[in-house]
Amino acid sequence: MNQDIIKLLQAAIECSVFLNPTEPGLSYEEILEVGKLAGFQTGEVGDAALPILKAGGRYIGDRIIPDQHTRTLWGVFFPEEPDYRNFAAFDFVVSELNDRVKADGARNAQLDRSVIVERALAKAIQRNAIEVAITYLVMANQLTEKDGVLRFPNNSGVRGLPSEQLKSLNRQPMRKEERERAYPIVKDIIERRTDGRPQYVEPLDAFAEELDKLGHKPFSLWWTQTVAELRHSDPHSSPVSALVLAAAIVEGVLTFVVKHARSLGAFRSPDFDRAPKTWKIDDLVKSAAKGATQPYSTI
The H or E element that residue 60 is part of is: strand 59-60
For residue 114, the model assigns a pLDDT of 94
pLDDT-derived band at 5, boundaries 50, 70, 90:
very high
Q: Same domain, yes or no, for 12 and 154?
A: no
In a domain, residue 79? The reply is no
Tell me, what CATH number does 106's domain have? 1.10.10.10
For residue 283, the model assigns a pLDDT of 72
Q: Is a pLDDT exceeding 80 seen at residue 109?
A: yes
In a domain, residue 239? The reply is yes
Across the range 174-198, mean pLDDT stands at 90
For residue 211, the model assigns a pLDDT of 80
Provide φ and ψ at 165, rounded to 5°. -65, -40
Mean pLDDT of the chain: 85
Q: Same domain, yes or no, for 292 and 222?
A: yes
Q: Is a pLDDT exceeding 80 seen at residue 285?
A: no
Q: Same domain, yes or no, for 215 and 265?
A: yes
Q: How many domains does the chain have?
A: 3
Q: 163 or 266: whose pLDDT is higher?
A: 163
Q: Same domain, yes or no, for 28 and 93?
A: no
Domain that holds residue 12: 3-66+175-191
Q: Same domain, yes or no, for 119 and 184?
A: no
Beta-ladder partners of 109: none
Q: Which of 55-59, 66-70, 262-266, 271-275 has the lowest mean pLDDT?
A: 55-59
In a domain, residue 166? The reply is yes
Instruction: Find all residues with CB under 8 Å of 163, minimum gap 6, and list them.
Output: 77, 87, 88, 90, 91
For residue 93, the model assigns a pLDDT of 98
Q: Same domain, yes or no, for 166 and 217?
A: no
For residue 210, the model assigns a pLDDT of 77
Tens of pLDDT, residues 272-283:
777 777 777 777
For residue 200, the model assigns a pLDDT of 63
Q: Same domain, yes or no, for 49 and 93?
A: no
pLDDT-derived band at 198, boundaries 50, 70, 90:
low
For residue 296, the model assigns a pLDDT of 39
Q: Same domain, yes or no, for 21 and 52?
A: yes
For residue 38, the model assigns a pLDDT of 92
| Chain centre distance of CA 268 | 40
3-state helix, strand, coil in the chain (%, to 5): 60, 5, 35
The H or E element that residue 150 is part of is: strand 149-151
In a domain, residue 198? The reply is no
Q: Same domain, yes or no, for 147 and 282?
A: no
In a domain, residue 73? The reply is no
Q: Same domain, yes or no, for 207 and 147?
A: no
- Which of 52-56, 191-195, 231-235 has the largest mean confidence? 191-195
Tens of pLDDT, residues 123-178:
999 999 999 999 999 999 999 999 999 999 988 889 999 999 999 988 899 999 99
For residue 22, the model assigns a pLDDT of 94
In a domain, residue 48? The reply is yes
Distance CA 121, CA 115 (A): 10
In a domain, residue 280? The reply is yes
pLDDT-derived band at 299, boundaries 50, 70, 90:
very low
In a domain, residue 180? The reply is yes
Q: Same domain, yes or no, for 211 and 289?
A: yes
Q: Same domain, yes or no, for 40 and 92?
A: no
Instruction: Find all residues with CB under 8 Å of 61, minimum gap 6, and list them.
Output: 25
pTM beyond cutoff 0.75: no
pLDDT-derived band at 58, boundaries 50, 70, 90:
low
Q: Contact 234/64 with Cβ under 8 angstroms?
A: no
